[in-house]
Structure 1
Amino acid sequence: MKHTADDFRAALPVMLRPTTYLPTLDLTLANMTTPQAVAQLLAPGRRRAFFVNAHCANVMESDRQYAAALRCADMLLPDGVGVSLAARMTGQRLTANLNGTDLIPALLVQAAREGRGVFLFGGTPGTADLAARNLIRAIPHLRITGTRDGFAGAQDDAAVIADINASGADIVLVALGVPVQEIWLHRNAHLLNASLTLGVGAALDFYAGNVSRAPAWLRRARSEWIWRLAQEPRRLAKRYLLGNATFLARSAIRAVRHAPRAAVFRRTLDITVSASALVALAPLCALTAIAIKMDSRGPVFFRQTRVGRDGVPFQMLKFRSMGQDAEARRAALLATSDREGVCFKSRNDPRVTRVGRFIRRFSIDELPQILNVLRGEMSIVGPRPALPSEVAAYPARAYGRLAVKPGITGLWQVSGRADIGFDRMIDMDLAYAASRTLILDLILIAMTFRAVLSGRGAH
């Protein structure tokens, strides 16, 4: 069975908080999947939420009122690749791109199921009305309780508040643009009866059809800004070209300034070692790829969802050492595991190919994880990244190993690998997480060569 991010994040304990503080923005952002964000936005209680992207961060630098509005919000939702890159600069990883044009429809679908009324406020005259009609057609049972434009209809705050309250709306979507909508809600949300107020920027223009969305493949690549720039180059060139560059430069400076010195050195070590290894081992990787293709059908690389630091999922890379049906056969082989506890290991695993046994013996199958290190998802040294199903079955104390980035090598790997039982592996990983130093990392890297040559526990 293939596990999704939602499957295992739902199984993680409350101790793994669904928020992340980004020193590069000096803001705490929601760090969760879209379904989790929708559930939290609609949870009991009153809530004010805003989306944050690179442009928002730039505006915040010069607008104190806007900055105060963001910091007083109940939820800040990360929007766009710029914010994701800013997180990675400090070794963090955001679970999802919670942009408004994708999240709001999901929110409204759930609101319709719960019978909640929605008020649309903002946009040019007629935009909110057209957006309402389109949303009602697209979402069964959605109840729009009222609309109001963001021009003449927004001139009198008292009239707007009275209109919204009279409509009986549970949710208010405010589309006045950044920073006006955030400042308006910061000043007036407490006067509204609605339980959820949300600043949504240009979302109503999308739903009304005034602005077309980028193709799905471009959205998946988090590059919708390129599409927007192509549509409105004169208006958006400064925001996207100069603004994005300014944001990333500022984020990089703050990342270095705020990062603990050991973290900077550790990331430098990761990049230096992994980049050097990638160049030095390129011929071996090429030969391995050829051998895999000649030995069995299937792709050269094996991609699998693993659990990273703080429970954030990522796609781990390996050279494929098993047949194509390995995942389908795993459940039937669990009883043959040579290791006690959660993690499955079998010395005589029938799924392993001939080439697979060789590359596993010398840990060659792990080499593609150099790319995971360069991307910031793994470190050279750290606990091995676990499967979602394994994390879901962890005893409480084992979650401590998720406090640091997973690694290619580590204390467990140089001490016997699969010959080490699960409980002892956890003890080693917790000890490393509590006392890791750069000197210890260098020692473990050096010991890895001996462990690889001995092949102890490699199967």
Structure 2
Amino acid sequence: MKHIREFDLQPLAPTTKSLFGLNVVNETRAHTIDVLLSGGRSRVAFLNAHCVNVAARDRAYANALRSADAILPDGAGIEIAHKFIGSRMTENLNGTDFTPLLLAEAAQRGKSVFLFGGRPGTAEAAAEKLMDDIPGLVIAGTRDGFGGAVDTDAAIRAINASEADILLVAMGVPRQDLWLAENGHLLRPGLLIGVGALFDFLAGNVSRAPRALRAMRGEWLWRLASEPRRMFRRYVIGNPEFILRALTQVSGDTIAKRVFDILVASAVILAFAPLFAIAALAIRTETRGPVFFRQTRVGRGGQTFSMLKFRSMVVDAEARRAALLDKSDRTGVCFKSRTDPRITRVGRILRRYSIDELPQIFNVLKGEMSIVGPRPALPSEVAAYPKRAVERLSVKPGLTGVWQVSGRAEIGFDKMVDMDLAYVRSRSVLLDVVLLALTFRAVIGGRGAY
């Protein structure tokens, strides 16, 4: 059979994250769909916990994944893997939800789709469901994955003759991705996607978990309960197997640091629970408004998160910040003012003893922060960073650190960066223990706390 043409993709636009030796897309659905439908030829695979386990045993499948033009994150397992390495999965792009959204956009752009796979009749039933759900979607053809897949040359001829723009292949892992890797250069459709059990879901052969259970990351429990014999190996044995593989991505120092963070955070919550209650009561007694203050900060790798503090300022403090920037006591991009009029009377006490920072213990438990590390910056501050300061973002931000035990707000921005970079390059659990001990002395002394 004559080769159609080699893939001629430009580098994929969405941001990717290295997981299990693969470059996995870490982007929104909307942006990923736009990139995949915007021209070029691309072969797409989905990656979930089961795929990772299979790839560890099947070298050919692992190579098929590595050679794919886009690998999309599918499910809670990949989200867990992100968390283990201190990252965050932007969005779950699981094939069952993602592919119909992609086809809806494809229909708007006048693109057609060919469905290949499933038992006889399944692709046709899936096509009917898609056409009912997506007005204007053009189904260029269907072919089952049993008898219809026996003659590979005949299947390729049928797909190419349909002149489809998109090919969906539903043969399960690893067969679909191996088939696409082997035959992709012979196929005319510009977008080739392995979609697993999608056709069975669309055709009603397999029921999906209720939406509430899916939101709780429990769809695997539903599938295990629905097909216990077939899914026992994948989930009961496979899930712990995957967790162990995910942990191998994490260095021993990183694991030790995470254990340290959890132990210290748990101890602080238990020891200071009465102080939490007193602080909350004092805030509500002095001013109306919420007890806690949430603010978007930048964490490891530039990922943003919602940082939690006891509110120490008036309710409209953020709106009044711009008018005070020229009154900063501190050089550089980070604003700090000893006479900041937005701080309440209770707030000054909370700040003097760093009590306002205590709720960040919950950010630590969530894995967004560490006990020790550079202080988390505002997005506007990061945008103004000099190039060398960006290295601060290579580790999780901390509740305390070198800067905090050395004078806090009395330390200028450039010197703070020097301190943080020194920590980043020499961090260890032992150093964290020393800095935590020094923090108690700094809190009592109150130097630079305002």
Same fold (TM over 0.5): yes
Q: Hey, what does 1:18 align to over in structure 2? A: 15
Instruction: Indicate yes or no: 2:103 matched with 1:108.
Output: yes
Q: Hey, what does 2:243 align to over in structure 1? A: 248
SS class of match (1:377): coil
Instruction: Indicate yes or no: 2:376 matched with 1:385.
Output: yes
Number of residue pairs matched by the alignment: 439
Whole-angstrom distance in 2 between the partners of 1:333 and 1:146: 64
Whole-angstrom distance in 2 between the partners of 1:42 and 1:392: 31
Whole-angstrom distance in 2 between the partners of 1:325 and 1:101: 43
Residues 453 and 198 (structure 1 numbering): CA distance in 2 closer, same or farther, change over 3 Å? same
Report deviation, 1:234: 4.5
Matched residue type, 1:276: A
Pick aligned residue for 1:71 from 66, 73, 78: 66
Matched residue type, 2:49: A
SS class of match (1:306): strand
Report deviation, 1:50: 1.2
SS class of match (1:118): strand
Residues 220 and 295 (structure 1 numbering): CA distance in 2 closer, same or farther, change over 3 Å? farther
Instruction: Indicate yes or no: 2:359 matched with 1:368.
Output: yes
Equivalent pair of 2:333/2:385 in contact (CA under 8 Å): yes
Matched residue type, 2:242: F
Whole-angstrom distance in 2 between the partners of 1:390 and 1:337: 14
Q: What are the within-5 Å matches in structure 2 for residues 41-56 of structure 1?
A: 41-42=36-37, 44-56=39-51
Matched residue type, 1:449: F
Report deviation, 1:197: 1.4
Of residues 311-320 and 46-55 in structure 1, the stretch that sits farther from structure 2 once superposed is: 311-320
SS class of match (2:375): coil
Report deviation, 1:311: 1.7
Instruction: Indicate yes or no: 2:392 matched with 1:401.
Output: yes
- The higher relative CO (CA closer than 8 Å, separation ≥ 6) is in 1
Whole-angstrom distance in 2 between the partners of 1:393 and 1:213: 47
Matched residue type, 1:191: L
SS class of match (1:315): strand
Instruction: Indicate yes or no: 2:169 matched with 1:174.
Output: yes
SS class of match (2:192): strand
Q: Hey, what does 2:293 align to over in structure 1? A: 302
Whole-angstrom distance in 2 between the partners of 1:139 and 1:331: 47
Instruction: Indicate yes or no: 2:220 matched with 1:229.
Output: no
Report deviation, 1:187: 1.5
Q: Hey, what does 1:6 align to over in structure 2? A: none
SS class of match (2:119): coil
Instruction: Indicate yes or no: 2:423 matched with 1:428.
Output: no
Equivalent pair of 1:321/1:355 in contact (CA under 8 Å): yes
SS class of match (2:308): strand
Unpaired stretches in structure 2, ≥5 consecutive residues: 1-10
Q: What are the within-5 Å matches in structure 2 for residues 2-401 of structure 1?
A: 18-22=15-19, 25-42=20-37, 44-139=39-134, 141-252=136-247, 254-255=248-249, 259=251, 261-327=252-318, 330=321, 334=325, 337-401=328-392
Report deviation, 1:138: 3.8
Whole-angstrom distance in 2 between the partners of 1:77 and 1:94: 11
Residues 309 and 136 (structure 1 numbering): CA distance in 2 closer, same or farther, change over 3 Å? same
Report deviation, 1:407: 1.0
Seq. identity, %: 61
TM-score w.r.t. the length of structure 2 is 0.84
SS class of match (1:413): coil
Report deviation, 1:48: 1.7
Instruction: Indicate yes or no: 2:444 matched with 1:453.
Output: yes
Unpaired stretches in structure 1, ≥5 consecutive residues: 1-13
Residues 326 and 108 (structure 1 numbering): CA distance in 2 closer, same or farther, change over 3 Å? farther
Whole-angstrom distance in 2 between the partners of 1:68 and 1:179: 11
SS class of match (2:405): helix
TM-score w.r.t. the length of structure 1 is 0.83
Cα-to-partner distance string for 1:237-291 (whole Å, 9 max, x where unaligned): 4422332133224444x35xx61x4434433433333333233223322332333
Matched residue type, 1:281: F
Matched residue type, 1:285: F
Cα-to-partner distance string for 1:335-370 (whole Å, 9 max, x where unaligned): 655545443444444544443332222211222222
Report deviation, 1:181: 1.0
Matched residue type, 2:298: V
Of residues 220-229 and 406-415 in structure 1, the stretch that sits farther from structure 2 once superposed is: 220-229
